[in-house]
Structure formats: structure tokens, C-alpha cells
């Protein structure tokens, strides 16, 4: 039961951050869903970093791990919003933009997980 509450709190915080980031970026850069892209990329970097640190130092604790990964980063990243935005672009005939959105979200998310893992190695001095 405690883990469910911990995940819920993390999810609440992550979702609020994603909402604010998306709202700000949409008002600043309205022609592309940069809020979703940045949320996904930041979450990818963070999970890579967390897992990289854990690989080097050992388990970080069940509650801490589920708060950060499942809760906070699960709330911050958003595959469903990414998917909906992409489908809408296709429906609107914006095929190149939709394809770019797919490539950027997938490509940058994978790259930033790797960067997070490497950043963890640098922090730990390995």
C-alpha cells in the first residue's frame, strides 16, 4: 500500500511538471508539440541516470526507485499524448511533421537514456 501512495505522489509531481512544461513551450513554440518531446527526453535522461547510478552503487531502495521511475518519470513522460498528437498531425495531412515527431521522440529518448547512463558513470568516476 505504501508503494502505491509513493508512486501516486511521484506521478502527481511528474504530471504537474509535464503540464507546466507543455503549457509554457506550447505558448512559446506553438507549431510543434515541444512540451511532449522535452518531457519525454528529460524523463529518458533521468531514468538512464537513475539506472546508471543504481548499477554502480547497488539498489537505491524500493520506495525511492518507484517514486522516481514509475511515479515521477512515468508522470513526466507521456506516450499517450505523443501518440495522440502524432495521429492528429497525420489526420491534418502534416505527414512530414508527424514523421519528424515520431523520429524525434523515439530517437532523442533512446539517445538520452544512453546519455543518462553515461552521465551516471561520469558522476561516479567510472
pLDDT, average across residues 88-116: 97
Alpha carbons 17 and 34: distance in angstroms, whole number = 14
pLDDT per position as a tens digit, 15-50: 999 999 999 999 999 999 999 999 999 999 999 999
Both ends of the chain: CA-CA distance in Å? 37
Question: How much is the mean pLDDT over the chain?
Answer: 95
Cβ–Cβ < 8 Å for 116, 52: yes
Amino acid at each position: 500500500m505504501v508503494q502505491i501512495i509513493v508512486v501516486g505522489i511521484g506521478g502527481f509531481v511528474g504530471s504537474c511538471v509535464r503540464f507546466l512544461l507543455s503549457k509554457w513551450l506550447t505558448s512559446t513554440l506553438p507549431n510543434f508539440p515541444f512540451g511532449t518531446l522535452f518531457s519525454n527526453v528529460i524523463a529518458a535522461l533521468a531514468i538512464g541516470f537513475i539506472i546508471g547510478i543504481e548499477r554502480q552503487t547497488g539498489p537505491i531502495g524500493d520506495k525511492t526507485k518507484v517514486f522516481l521511475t514509475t511515479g515521477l518519470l512515468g508522470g513526466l513522460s507521456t506516450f499517450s499524448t505523443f501518440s495522440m498528437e502524432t495521429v492528429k498531425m497525420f489526420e491534418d495531412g502534416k505527414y512530414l511533421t508527424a514523421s519528424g515527431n515520431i523520429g524525434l521522440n523515439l530517437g532523442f529518448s533512446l539517445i538520452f537514456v544512453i546519455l543518462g547512463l553515461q552521465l551516471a558513470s561520469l558522476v561516479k568516476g567510472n
